[in-house]
Each structure stands twice: as structure tokens, then as C-alpha cells.
């Protein structure tokens, strides 16, 4: 993990639109790339005149869409088959799968948009969208809108606050990567235990 983060830091030193696009594509896939480590320095470089803040924001949003689309495609092609075939090993039977599918699709638009602003969820929200068959057009539009807005917030932080906020972000980058993995595991355990607990019967 530390070697991967060190590589990101090295790329950020020469941050341009291509690097922003590429790193944010990784950030929206399953790789633990903190968006704060990419877009805040992009804002700082924009304040120095090395980048245009609007183009940097758009590059980040476009990269996010690419990475999220890869996850969406993975869920669409593999996720459903995998969970229906092997879900029993994760305490997910067919009935629980369809229940989760119904619940997600009822809130798919909100989850897809809001999920772009939440750590850890940003990396994962595209998988259930693809697995449960969310329509591609609203997925792409909401992902682009949410991701671009988030990139804009981070660019603005870097543009107006500069080096102090960059030092703060790079100081916790290693911990952020581990925290993302830890929170994912905690969520998975919570989900499985919740599904295991018997439902309380209503009194007659």
C-alpha cells in the first residue's frame, strides 16, 4: 500500500490534465486512490497558473466516469451471476439477493449521486448499480454530475487554501488507504450479521 501511495505522490508532483484523468479513473474503480490527493493539488497548481481550474475539474469528472463505468460493467457482466451462484458462501441466498436488488433500485438515483461524495462508497457504488441493472443513461449522468461537483469542491480547496491543506492531506494519505479497506470490511461484516439476525415477529 505505501509503495502505491508513494507512486501517486510522485505522479502528483508533475500533475497535468492527463494525470488527473488517469488517477481519478483509478479512484473511481477499485484502486485506493484518494481523490483529495489528486484534485486538491490540482487546485493549487491552478492557483499558480499551471492549470486551468475548470479544465482540471472536468478532467477529474471525466476520469471518474471512466473508472465508475468499468465498475458498472464489472457488476453488470459478473456481479449478478457471481452472487446468485456463490452468494450462499457469503450468506446471501437468492431471496436476499432479490430483496437487496429491489431496495437498491428504489433508491438508485439518489445512491449513485450522493455516493460520489462519501469516502469508500465512491469506490464501490458503481458495482451494485451494474449488478442490479440500473439503467446506463441515468447512471452515467448522475455519476458525471456528482463526481464533477466533488472534483470542483476539492479544486476550490486547493486553489484558495494552497499548501497548508495539501500538507494535511499528504500527512494522512497512508492512513486513508488503510481506512478505506477497513471500513469496507466493517460494512461487509455488518451487512452479513444483519442478514443473519432473525426478524422479530409482530405480536397478534
Domain range list for the chain = 2-196
DSSP track, 88-131: GGGT--HHHHHHHHHHHHHTHHHHHHHGGGSTTHHHHTHHHHHH
Quote the pLDDT of residue 59.
96
pLDDT tens digits for range 112-150: 888 888 777 777 788 888 888 889 999 999 999 999 999
**CA distance linking residue 187 with residue 144, whole number of Å:** 26
Q: How confident is the model at residue 67 (pLDDT cuts 50, 70, 90)?
A: very high
- CA–CA dist 155, 37 (Å, integer): 11
Question: Is-above-0.85 flag for pTM?
Answer: no
Main-chain dihedrals φ then ψ at residue 50, nearest 5 degrees: -80, -25
Dump pLDDT digits (tens) for 2-44. Answer: 554 565 556 666 789 999 999 999 888 877 677 888 888 899 8
Amino acid at each position: 500500500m505505501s509503495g502505491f501511495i508513494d507512486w501517486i505522490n510522485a505522479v502528483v508532483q508533475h500533475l497535468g490534465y492527463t494525470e488527473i484523468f488517469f488517477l481519478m479513473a483509478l479512484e473511481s474503480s477499485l484502486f485506493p486512490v484518494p481523490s483529495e490527493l489528486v484534485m486538491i493539488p490540482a487546485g493549487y497548481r491552478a492557483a499558480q497558473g499551471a492549470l486551468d481550474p475548470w479544465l482540471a475539474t472536468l478532467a477529474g469528472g471525466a476520469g471518474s466516469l471512466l473508472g465508475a463505468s468499468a465498475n458498472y460493467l464489472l457488476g453488470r457482466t459478473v456481479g449478478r451471476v457471481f452472487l446468485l451462484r456463490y452468494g450462499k458462501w457469503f450468506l446471501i441466498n437468492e431471496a436476499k439477493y432479490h430483496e437487496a436488488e429491489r431496495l437498491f433500485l428504489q433508491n438508485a438515483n439518489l445512491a449513485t449521486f450522493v455516493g460520489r461524495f462519501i469516502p469508500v462508497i465512491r469506490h464501490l457504488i458503481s458495482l451494485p448499480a451494474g449488478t442490479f441493472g440500473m439503467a446506463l443513461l441515468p447512471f452515467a449522468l448522475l455519476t458525471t454530475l456528482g463526481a464533477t461537483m466533488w472534483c470542483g469542491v476539492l479544486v476550490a480547496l486547493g486553489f484558495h487554501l494552497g499548501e497548508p491543506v495539501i500538507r494535511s492531506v499528504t500527512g494522512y494519505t497512508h492512513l486513508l488507504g488503510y481506512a478505506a479497506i477497513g471500513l469496507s470490511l466493517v460494512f461487509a461484516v455488518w451487512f452479513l450479521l444483519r442478514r443473519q439476525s432473525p426478524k422479530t415477529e409482530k405480536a397478534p
